[in-house]
Structure 1
Amino acid sequence: MKKIKNRVLPVLMFLVLVTASSQGGNVSIPSLPDEIIYKIIYGDTLKMQVLYPENLKPKKEYPAIVFFFGGGWNGGTTKQFEDQAKYFASRGMVGFLVDYRVKSRHQTTPFEAVSDAKSAMRFVRGNAAKFQIDPNEIVASGGSAGGHLAAAAATLDGLDESTDDLSVSAKPNALVLYNPVIDNGPDGFEYKRMNGRHLEISPKHNIKKGTAPTIIFLGTKDALIPVSTMEK
């Protein structure tokens, strides 16, 4: 699958193809490998965990899925999407669980979190051969603020880290989002916290032709993210 058109249906087809390509039967998931450092910034060391399918075939490229945890950019842990990463590994994808800077641990803002997410995506794609993944089949995923980071990597042209290699794209090839924050505008999530910079960071305000095909999961009784936002 070398090209993915900008529609939701190809996302589902992509996931179906991944499922069909698995070897079938019961697949045991290996234990979490050691964490890999993807970025050191202002004394903060940021890491990600990698989960591989069992019995990797030599020289074969696998699709990948990169998870960002939620927590309002204030806190959270990579364990949030550990089960999902294990599941997708069992279906033939390489899973990544990304840590990033948050207010409680690093005294940072959502803007630094976006920079970290884009750095993580570039790190995964830039090391595709090492991870044995197809650089053109990388899904970004996350929940709440983590969903925002995945969507931000797909839509925002700015907020890149000065140390990033900008020749490597941070844009995912597809998005799988759980109750994501996608609107940081006047009627959106944490508008005041954006300090008048919502156009820089709000995925909804940066959707353009070529944005990755996206599927969103949201409960109708979500207290923070209204369904109307997703409909718009």
Structure 2
Amino acid sequence: MRLILAFLSLCVALVAGAQEKVAKKKAGGHPPVIEGTKSETYRKVGETELKVWIFEPAQKSAKPLPAIVFFFGGGWTGGSPTQFEPQSRHLASRGMIAIVADYRVKTRQDAKPADCVSDAKACVRWVRANAARLGIDPERIAVGGGSAGGHLAASVATLPGLDTAKDDKSVSCLPNALVLFNPGTVMAPFPGLDLKGFGAGLDKSKFGCEPTEISPIHHVKKGTPPTIIFHGKADTTVPYSTVEKFAEVMKASGNRCDLIGYEGEKHSFFNKSKYAETLAAADDFLVSLGYLPAKK
């Protein structure tokens, strides 16, 4: 009888756990449930465990694989790592290891943008530090993101500060390539630009640091990783002029920066009608870097 009761209790627990997972997925709970991935914690801040979800190619490789880490958008206020799940599944099917990352935001941890950048840098360091265990080539780590997540990706590649005392700075957080979707790249006044939209008007009290400290365009230099940017020309949240100027500064510094503008498209367009088109172009960019095989 005791064995039967124990078995029934186990069954109830398993069913309840499964139902909880389904409910969380349907409700868009946080942290999310992402089927077919393995999840690990890359950083703990207080009681908050920040996780990554890892998409692996179906076919195992004897050699280390290139990887890409995606950061979701949401104005540093909210959002979900599931935003880049479709892109991640595609890239994993093409032979990369794709990773979507969580980071602190305003609505969940009362975080400021500087905290978000700190998390993003810690995440890329974690991926590189664990590259051998994860089967990743540490010299072929791309970083991508949309909107605020695009800002984080660009920040990881450019900003010299916003680390914490606990960060192992012997491990580089510099990515080897950037894939950016309507990213925020200008957070402070810059010559030749009328600063509007995303980040405009915010000061140290809002950013958690001086505006120039969190503004990627102010820190572009020779050696900033090769970059592709997808941006709607009708974007009023992050004006197209800001990425035009960013691309100009990148090229003037001797860096590759492919800017693809989309007529009439507004913010977050890449999640909608232009999803397939932008994904195909991102795929081509990664092929050009040798991260993906040429399409047959």
TM range (shorter): 0.7 to 0.9
Matches within 5 A, 1:1-232: 31-58=35-62, 60-186=63-189, 187-188=195-196, 189-195=198-204, 197-232=210-245
- Once the two structures are superposed, residues 110-137 of structure 1 have per-residue CA deviations (whole angstroms, 9 ceiling, x without a partner) of 0000000000000000000011010000
Q: Deviations over 1:155-208 (max 9, x none)?
A: 001001221110000010000000000000131532333327111100011111
Aligned AA (1:225): V
What letter corresponds to residue 193 of structure 1 in structure 2?
L
Match of 2:30 in 1: none
TM norm structure 1: 0.84
Question: Number of aligned pairs?
Answer: 202
Say which structure, 1 or 2, has more relative contact order (CA 8 Å, 6+ apart).
1
Q: Distance in 2 between matches of 1:50 and 1:132?
A: 11
- Alpha-carbon shift at residue 221 of structure 1 (Å): 1.2
Q: SS at the partner of 2:132?
A: helix
| Percent pairwise identity | 50
Question: 2 CA distance for matches of 1:115 and 1:122?
Answer: 11
Distance in 1 of aligned mates of 2:94 and 2:171: 27
Q: Specify the alignment match of 1:6 in structure 2.
A: none
In 2, Cα distance between the equivalents of 1:192 and 1:226?
14
Q: 1:116·1:161 contact (CA, 8 Å) conserved in 2?
A: no
Deviates more, 1:112-121 or 1:179-188: 179-188
Q: Distance in 2 between matches of 1:86 and 1:159?
A: 31
Q: Distance in 1 between matches of 2:201 and 2:164?
A: 24
Map Cα deviations across residues 46-86 of structure 1 (whole Å, 9 max, x no partner).
0010000011123x110000000000000000010000000
Q: CA deviation at 1:31?
A: 4.1
Whether the aligned pair in 2 keeps the contact of 1:137 and 1:173 (CA below 8 Å) is yes
The gaps in structure 2 that reach 5 residues or longer are 1-33, 190-194, 246-296
CA RMSD of aligned residues (A): 1.4
Is the 2:38–2:55 Cα contact (8 Å) retained in structure 1?
A: no
User: Cα gap change, 1:131/1:228 in structure 2, threshold over 3 Å: closer, same or farther?
Assistant: same
Give, in angstroms, the shift of residue 146 of structure 1.
0.1
CA contact (8 A) 1:141 1:150 kept: yes
Mapped partners of 2:99, 2:185: distance in 1: 22
* Distance (whole Å) between structure 2 residues aligned to residue 168 and residue 91 of structure 1: 28
Deviates more, 1:207-216 or 1:184-193: 184-193
Q: Is contact 1:51–1:94 with CA below 8 Å preserved after alignment?
A: yes
**Residue in structure 2 matched with residue 18 of structure 1 by the alignment:** none
- How much does 1:153 deviate? 0.2
Number of the residue aligned with 2:251: none
Amino acid at match of 2:237: L
**Secondary structure of the equivalent of 2:44?**
strand
Please state how far the C-alpha of 1:228 moved relative to its aligned partner.
Answer: 1.1
SS at match of 1:47: strand
- In structure 2, the residue corresponding to 1:85 is in which secondary structure? helix
